[in-house]
Homo-oligomer: A and B are copies of this chain.
Amino acid sequence: VTTFLKKITRFLGDNEWIDASNSNLWSRDWLDKFGEIPIGVAIPSSTNQVSNILKLCYNYEVSVIPQGGNTSLVGGSVSNKKGGLILSMSRMNDISSPDLIGRSVEVGSGVILENLHKELKKSNMILPMHLGSQGSAQIGGLISTNAGGTHAFKYGMMQDLVLGMEVVLPGGQVWNGMRSVQKDNTGYQLRKIFCGAEGSLGVITKAILKLTPAPKKQITALVSFNDINSLIKVASNIRSEIDEFITAIEFFSDSGLKMIEKHISGFSIPIRNRASFYLLLEASTSTEKISLESIFSFALEKAMKGEDHVDAIVALTNKQRAQLWRLREDQPEGQRLSGAQLKHDISVPPAHIQSFLETANKNCQRILKGVRINAFGHIGDGNIHYNISPPTGKKDFLNTDKDFELMIAKLAAELGGSFAAEHGIGTSKVDLAETLRDYQERDIMRSIKRSFDQKALLNPGVVVHEKD
């Protein structure tokens, strides 16, 4: 260890190496649930440095945990054993000027998503990736967890937005895949393999991302329902009417709204007639010549016809739009402030959402009577954050946490969906994957891991179990 520390501090400057004793900011995850004390934190500022760090760690068999914004919800960005090296990518944060004809931008993997959003405003382009943690989440982490978010049903996940990348492999070799074309069929799609690999196959240092023109007009609407089935139908109907304009289809419930009202001050709810569920719709156009208001209003009315809704409001100004979005975006924070909770990130084919919710709700009451359910998320792609708070008056779940997790995960899988929709499996869901996915699938993953990382040094414990 002493020799290793001597060597690594030789090529990392004073502010590029953080001692174990000062590593708390990096070593614990933001739920403060995961993370052992590392050997130290390296904060390199060049690919060459990353390569040298990985070479040294390879020789000394020190495990490496690549870290972006450290916003993982599944223990994917901190060490699950003492003595690993945390590799913070935050200094690799260059943003090139975008290629406006090819519609792409080259970024360092340490660029924070929100900073990229701001930078792109200058050129009227967007990276259509929006999620709660965008103020902290970094591009490398977003790629490594194959992030989804609110606009994925329309624009895809990170794997659909990555054209090229540069990756440092476990032994320190650098793979240069910085090509900025969509069509590149020169063998296996390496650029896709690193998407969702949770930093276990290589360390992403740079990426070329696909851009979209910024919308010229946007409209947001909120519709309240007592019947979730009507909500799902209206969401499907409006897509059939004006598919190319719909850019977000979100839902949340009144129980979530009540938590926000109770715990977050200065909150106003603009809809008059509240109901059990809310559908948040967004339409966008890149064309000035279109009357988005009239097209959207007409389509919404048609979509709601015969469906049992309670109230509907349409926001035209940016201020009104932001107000509606806040109702959806503050759901996680409202629940966090309400005390203990269990988070579940599942997806089912959209046609099975109702069936999932009905069965899950019933089963939840069987596991622990009085438990309070707060489901919200992305109707468009069937991705539901099915969160649970303890029964009124209780502080926790009386040791039933694992029962909820398995019941919900199993149900999603049985309906043809996933128990790790957009957050990944990290270290916390590997056992679940071993239980619910067939042996073939897990075995292929183990052999992929081995073929990239023979010594099992890169983010050990995520995706597959490390060697004994």
Contact of A182 among B153, B188, B437 (CB under 8 A): B153
Q: Size range of the interface on A?
A: 35 or more
Contact A441 B190 (CB under 8 A): yes
Contact A102 B349 (CB under 8 A): yes
Closest chain-B Cβ to A162's Cβ sits at a distance in Å of: 11
**Is A350 an interface residue when CB atoms closer than 8 A count as contact?**
yes
Contact B190 A192 (CB under 8 A): no
Interface positions of A from 185 to 227, Cβ below 8 Å from B: 185-190, 192-193, 195-197, 201, 212-213
Residues of chain B within 8 A of A232, CB atoms compared? 101
Query: Of A132-140, A284-292, A334-342, which binds chain B?
Result: A284-292
Find the residue from A100, A153, A192, A201 having the highest chain B CB count within 10 A. A192
Q: Determine the residue in chain B with the shortest Cβ distance to A178.
A: B416
16 A–B contacts from the bound complex (CB under 8 Å): A152-B183, A159-B192, A175-B444, A181-B383, A183-B347, A183-B422, A185-B421, A185-B423, A186-B429, A187-B437, A187-B441, A240-B286, A242-B286, A244-B245, A244-B286, A451-B451
Contact with B along A414-456 (1 / 0, CB 8 A): 0011111111110001000100011011101101111110000
Residues of chain B within 8 A of A442, CB atoms compared? 187
Contact of A433 among B104, B186, B189 (CB under 8 A): B186
Contact B244 A183 (CB under 8 A): no
- A197–B445 alpha-carbon span in the complex (Å): 16
Closest chain-B Cβ to A205's Cβ sits at a distance in Å of: 13
Closest chain-B Cβ to A425's Cβ sits at a distance in Å of: 6
- A422–B183 alpha-carbon span in the complex (Å): 6
Residues of chain B within 8 A of A181, CB atoms compared? 347-349, 381-383, 416-418, 421
Closest chain-B Cβ to A142's Cβ sits at a distance in Å of: 12
**Is A333 an interface residue when CB atoms closer than 8 A count as contact?**
no
Q: Determine the residue in chain B with the shortest Cβ distance to A175.
A: B440
**Is A241 an interface residue when CB atoms closer than 8 A count as contact?**
yes
- Report copies per complex: 2
- A181–B345 alpha-carbon span in the complex (Å): 13
Residues of chain B within 8 A of A452, CB atoms compared? 444, 447
Q: Determine the residue in chain B with the shortest Cβ distance to A201.
A: B188
Contact B193 A189 (CB under 8 A): yes
Besides A99-B349, A148-B183, 13 new A-B residue pairs in contact (Cβ under 8 A), listed by A number: A101-B236, A148-B185, A175-B441, A176-B441, A179-B417, A181-B417, A181-B418, A183-B347, A184-B421, A188-B193, A192-B193, A242-B286, A290-B295
Residues of chain B within 8 A of A242, CB atoms compared? 286-287, 289
**Is A259 an interface residue when CB atoms closer than 8 A count as contact?**
no
Residues of chain B within 8 A of A164, CB atoms compared? 416
Residues of chain B within 8 A of A159, CB atoms compared? 189, 192
**Is A464 an interface residue when CB atoms closer than 8 A count as contact?**
yes
Residues of chain B within 8 A of A425, CB atoms compared? 185-187
Interface positions of A from 86 to 127, Cβ below 8 Å from B: 99-104
Q: Determine the residue in chain B with the shortest Cβ distance to A236.
A: B101
Closest chain-B Cβ to A47's Cβ sits at a distance in Å of: 13
Contact A421 B189 (CB under 8 A): no
Contact B440 A169 (CB under 8 A): yes
- A286–B103 alpha-carbon span in the complex (Å): 24
Given known contacts A179-B416, A187-B196, A421-B184, A351 and B99 CB-to-CB distance under 8 angstroms = yes
